[in-house]
Amino acid sequence: NAGVTQTPKFRVLKTGQSMTLLCAQDMNHEYMYWYRQDPGMGLRLIHYSVGEGTTAKGEVPDGYNVSRLKKQNFLLGLESAAPSQTSVYFCASSFSTTGNWEQYFGPGTRLTVT
């Protein structure tokens, strides 16, 4: 099993450009998440999904959109990149169990917006 994979690993964008980050998991997890991690701050949830075809906003959703057309994939889109979106983006997934929700993370995407 590959677990959680993310593409691309690195990207540099210019302000105003758009891009899509792809997350894939092969563990048959129901829940998937997108986080961003900035220096000195904890991971912050951007959007999440509790199942195929459903998405919900997290703590910092502005400037991002997501889609979950297939259970194994969760896409994060930036329609018009801004320097404030320079960050490391992590995707994660978990089973939809009550109580404990251990999350499995992908390796991250380092995005720089100039």
Partner 1 sequence: RKEVEQDPGPFNVPEGATVAFNCTYSNSASQSFFWYRQDCRKEPKLLMSVYSSGNEDGRFTAQLNRASQYISLLIRDSKLSDSATYLCVVNMLTGGFKTIFGAGTRLFVKA
- Does 103 participate in binding partner 1 (rule CB under 8 A)? yes
Query: How far apart are CB 90 and partner 1 at their closest, in Å?
Result: 6
Closer by beta carbon to partner 1, 28 or else 98: 98
Q: Of these, 1, 41, 62, 69, which contacts partner 1 (CB under 8 A)?
A: 41
Q: How far apart are CA 13 and CA 93, in angstroms?
A: 26
- Which residues, including other chains, have CB under 8 Å from residue 45's CB and lie 6 or more apart? 33, 34, 35, 58, 59, 60
Closer by beta carbon to partner 1, 65 or else 103: 103
Residues numbered 57 to 86 that lie near partner 1 (CB under 8 A) are none
Q: Of these, 56, 79, 80, 83, which contacts partner 1 (CB under 8 A)?
A: 56
**SS3 at position 23:** strand
The torsion region of residue 83 among left (phi > 0), alpha (psi -120 to 50) and beta comes to alpha
Structure tokens at 63: 């400037």
Give contact residues for partner 1 (rule: CB under 8 A).
31, 33, 35, 40-45, 48, 50, 56, 90, 99-108
